[in-house]
Structure 1
């Protein structure tokens, strides 16, 4: 579990790119920027 310092798309994508296939669950509030970043990073 981790909390990111902000909700910017690049921050989220950079964070997720560190873990790639190891990410099993993402919990979010459906913010469109966050949702798009997760989708782009994890598919």
Structure 2
């Protein structure tokens, strides 16, 4: 039963990551961050 709980927890973690990535603010932050890195590399 222990291993079942572990995989279940991992699935919940993945779900929360997905929610984080689909939130507009998070996408905006990631895009901003990526643009900053690109700008710094030039």
- TM-score, with length taken from structure 1: 0.33
Larger of the two Rg values belongs to structure: 2
The structure showing larger relative contact order (alpha-carbon pairs under 8 Å, at least 6 residues apart) is 1
- TM-score, with length taken from structure 2: 0.33
- Give the helix-richer structure, 1 or 2: 2
